[in-house]
Amino acid sequence: MAELAEKRRWPAKIAGSGPRATLIAGGLGRHPSGGVAVTHGTRSGEERFWSKVDKGDGTGCWLWTRAVNDRGYGVFRLSTHQNVYAHRYAYELLVGLIPEGRELDHVKANGCTSTACVKVLADQHGPAHLESVTHRENMLRSDTPSARQARQTHCIRGHALTGVNVYRRPGAPNKRECRRCAQEREASRSPRRRHGR
């Protein structure tokens, strides 16, 4: 009877601590990375997880086919009381723990086209679509206005944004402006406006 009760017990907590804690916890059976595989009924969490992944024809993303959040990331119910991101769970199953201070990036340069992708290993059809990177690197790889500005090598008038030609305003030190364009703009203003009249 005690063995049956032990089988049905849900994980009390995630192994490790903080936001980077391992997702593989509680339940029965050891996982190669040192975590413990969670069981759900008669199937392990790992079996349930992979039954919800469509590897397609092997040429692109491995897509999570079940629940996704409002940003398109797959959500896997690890236990009654614990949902985890599908891409993070796949990474920890096949690669290992996500290092402290790192996060997973869906690498567009490797062919990843979806945030629901869980392809963490390279295969004969191409490279892995998920990579452990710093938050800064993940943001710079994105398509946000600040990421586009950080990748910009020349201003809209063709001046190089390097060395002494880069101006950073005191109130916005992360924003780069073309010093030459600012000087040309100032020179074109009327003398009265330049002196605040």
pLDDT tens, 124-153?
888 999 999 999 899 888 888 888 888 888
What per-residue confidence (pLDDT) applies to 9? 33
What per-residue confidence (pLDDT) applies to 195? 60
- Say how far apart CA 159 and CA 179 lie, in whole Å: 9
Length of the chain: 197
Three-state SS at 185: helix
What per-residue confidence (pLDDT) applies to 49? 95
The DSSP annotation for 33-47 comes to TSSBPPEETTEEHHH
What per-residue confidence (pLDDT) applies to 191? 67
Furthest CA-CA distance within the chain? 91
Enumerate the β-bridge partners of residue 30: 36
What's the predicted TM-score (pTM) here? Answer: 0.64
What per-residue confidence (pLDDT) applies to 62? 94
What per-residue confidence (pLDDT) applies to 193? 62
Q: Enumerate the domain spans of the chain.
A: 2-151, 153-197
Low-confidence ranges of the chain (pLDDT < 50): 1-40
Alpha helices, DSSP H only, in 58-100?
86-94
- Say how far apart CA 42 and CA 134 lie, in whole Å: 38
Q: What burial letters (b/e) apply to 64-85, b meaning 16+ CB within 10 Å?
A: beeebeeeebbbbbbbeebebb
Question: Letter for the amino acid at 32?
Answer: P
Planar angle of CA 31, 34, 38, nearest 5 degrees = 40
What per-residue confidence (pLDDT) applies to 187? 87
Question: What Å distances lie between residue 154 and 41, 135, 147, 157, 163, CA to CA?
Answer: 59, 25, 14, 8, 12
